[in-house]
A and B are shown apart, each in its own frame.
Chain A
Amino acid sequence: MTPASRALARVRRIVPDGFPWQAASWPASIERAAPERGLGVDYDTSWSRRYPVRLARAVLLDHMATPAVRALATPRVVGAEVLDGLDPPAIFVANHASHLDTALILSVLPPPMRHRTVVAAAADHFFDRRMKAHLWSFCLAAIPIERHRVNRRSAELAAGLLEEGWNLVIFPEGGRTPDGWQQEFRGGAAYLSVRTGRPMVPVHLDRTWRLLPKGGRRIRRAGVQVTFGLPILAAPGEDARRLSARVEQAVAVLGDESASDWWSARRRHAAGATPSARGPDWSSWRRAWELTSPSRDHPSRSGGAATGPPSGDLRWALTRQRKPSGA
């Protein structure tokens, strides 16, 4: 550890995470006053899709972000073959636990696809200040999406980009999970899929909340798994709401697969017994306890491929994580 990082760590120990050290999250049921003009959904991101900017971003993503994510997260990718048969553009629909999720998905996409992908980002969080808006639209090709209600402008923009051939990464939970369990999917992604006729690829990100949980400040090393599912298209006559439920279920099945194995997950799915990804309706400590229970880890499967972290490492990450909930 360098002296500088030690000093930083010391400051971080003094300054804890979360409210009231940071601003409180805005309750979903409360309407928010309009932000400054030209920010939020009104922010114009078209500059970030011009060729020179794309080039700069490709350098950033390929040579800095991707290696960094691989080093930190040692992602194990399952179902990547889905991407080979995919007819882009597509909508990648993933659960959301960590700020690193976006970088993680981008890093496991094949480079050509990665360079033609935009990311739906919460207008009220990533585009509320000008500097932030510039930063995220440059780094991730983020586009502003209103998360608590339907906004015509943001829907138009996303649909237009899909039609132009851009892939879209979207987290339909509308925000990172506060406790590791999946939240209800909002209908935006399915609506875009129905409207543009582009397929949705369910993606499940496992254990990324350990990497950098909501409210967390320190990035921890942890082995994560990215599971891709088969693309989903709206059946004739299927509306966005039903489609959304279907894709939420698909992500849940991937989650189950990630926690057990493909065959058991399929069987449970067929029997309608996929465990709820939203977690049991328990008190908060029990939910956290359950999430960190050793039975949810599968060190036996982490051997073999070079992508898996050594099991000892994972244990270590776990015990550190479990401390606060057990206290």
Chain B
Amino acid sequence: MKALVFERSLPRFAAARVAHVLGSSSRAASLGPLRLVDTDPPELPADGWVHVRPLVSGICGSDLATIEGASSRYFEPMVSFPFIPGHEVVGVLEDVAKPDDRSPALTAGSRVVLEPVLGCAARGIEPPCSPCARGETGSCQNLAFGHLSPGLQTGFCADTGGGWSTGTLVAHLSQLHEVPASMSDEEAVMVEPAACALHAVLGAGIAPGSQVAVLGAGTLGLLVVAAIRQVCDPSSLLVGARYHHQRVMALELGADQALEPEELARALRRRSRSMLLGVDLTGGADVVIDCVASSDSIRSCLAMVRPRGRVVLLGMPAKQTLDLTPLWHREISLSGAYAYGTENVGDGRRRTFELAMELTRSARLGRLVSARYPIDRFEEAIAHAASAGRRGSVKVVFDLAARPPRSSKGRSA
């Protein structure tokens, strides 16, 4: 099978880093540790595992950071090389699964979305750690242990394969969610990022009637807007977005106002009728969700949030240098939001993925998929994903359906 494989190679890491700094993502993709190779499909590691043939796989911001050598070394112990990236996967179940009490009944040929976190269940750890026992798989403590190689998710683990391949990957039955027939592949591929957004929004403590701001409107920013509209009741929802199409889409997904990022603080000041102390608002938003996570964006979020408000980092921040005095002085809560698991909603607890399926359907999130590329053109695909905003796109995906590579064409939005 053909797959993009990410190898551990210091010179290639270095080359990718240099290319990234010089501003060429396609160069980073071709020089970097990512290579398109013919390789054997992974074997089933244990009982309860099945083969899944990916149909569509998304390119995520964390994938880009990894390819460009920009991600943090923090992940090193949670990754095993060589791995096949791709954790936003829609695929077809290849084997007949032996039903198991913790997973839904799936048959060969079912379409599934992958919940990529490799928690205790997948790793065969019994009894599971306490977060896994509560269904909060995103916070699993055993990401490097058990019968699998280290890997926080499918797509970062040497044993499971990943979504960026034309063959199969292996998945534990607990990781699979059946896709209803009425849902298209394009919608289904948005379920995983939508689950991330929902998890962040549900964890942000957005009280009814509060003022919320979202900084950044790439895929995650837009999904956060949609999620807030779905599950919260803010008095106002403002979005700061660099590109015009992002602002248009943010408004369509339910933002009250979509502005240039520089305008966001001014709009919040106006709405909260607060004053300015230097660059910091004396009032400001109750919750600010940072979907950029650079030192500048974190600083401006700290400036825009009210004292004792909350800033949620949904983007992956890597290493940043910034002055946290306002955090200290204004008693701001700065929290992260990663992955998904089980959420408290209304009267009960539900899997984030189930909620994400509903959100994807009701907000028609499939429209965020702007371009599909065959795997042979991965350099273009990655360059496109890295400059999606500038090129008027949102989500770029690999189209892995069994079509002859010659005739398949990337469709550009």
Q: Do chains A and B touch in the complex (CB under 8 A)?
A: no
